[in-house]
Amino acid sequence: MLDAALRLAERGGFDAVQMRDVATEANVALGTVYRYFTSKERLLLEAMVEEIEALAARLEARPPVGETPAARVVEVLSRGTASLQRHPEVTGAMVRAFGAADEADVVRRVGDIMTGIITGVMHDGPPTGRDLAVARTLQQVWLSSLIGWVGGVDEPARVVVDLETATDLLLGDGEEPAR
């Protein structure tokens, strides 16, 4: 069913993921879909968990090569964003579900994975408290940017720009302008 949902999202985004169609596409009855996913948002969010876990795995498989933590963070966020933007409709559907959802647990899971992607490349060893704070902030910026992009407020490229800006500010790579 998750695959079916993704297929439908691929062309048409959120609106094209209609529960009846998901059922049909998955060769299953509508009631069965609702047995496993209590709402459309949940369905899309669980798909999002899978997608973003896969993304995290891919990123981990080929770690960023930057010298500084800031460089590595930007690299991983750029690659992640690029990957998401490669399927705009799908990402759009998922992000939209995320923004509206009343499904705390899955939403939290998605956020945690995103945060993990960031902390994972900061440096060896377990992240410090500050690392976690920075990562959480970056994750929030990431999400807001995606929402802005998905909602048509910002250009696709703006997401990466925002992330670079935020990373620079948070992990200041040296030349801090006058305060």
Partner DNA sequence: GCCGGAATCGGAACATGTTTCACTTTGGCG
Partner DNA sequence: CGCCAAAGTGAAACATGTTCCGATTCCGGC
Interacting residues toward a second copy by CB under 8 A:
69, 96, 98-104, 107-108, 111, 128, 130, 133-134, 136-137, 139-141, 143-145, 147-148, 151-153, 162, 165-166, 169-171, 177, 179
CB 66 within 8 A of CB 79: no
Closest C-alpha among 137, 4, 167 to residue 73: 167
- Pick between residue 1 and residue 114 the one whose CB is nearest to DNA: 1
With CB under 7 A as the contact rule, the residue among 7, 10, 25, 28 that binds DNA is 28
Alpha carbons 80 and 55: distance in angstroms, whole number: 7
**Interface segment toward DNA; rule CB under 7 A; list 29-37, 119-127, 129-137, 150-158:** 29-37
Distance of alpha carbon 79 from the chain centroid:
12
With CB under 7 A as the contact rule, the residue among 2, 5, 17, 106 that binds DNA is 17
Alpha carbons 10 and 12: distance in angstroms, whole number: 6
Tally of residues, the chain: 179
With CB under 7 A as the contact rule, the residue among 10, 39, 131, 148 that binds DNA is 39
The entry of DNA, a second copy, none that residue 116 binds, CB within 5 to 8 Å by partner kind: none
Binding of DNA by 30 (CB under 7 A)? yes
* Token pair 């690392």 in the structure block, residue: 131
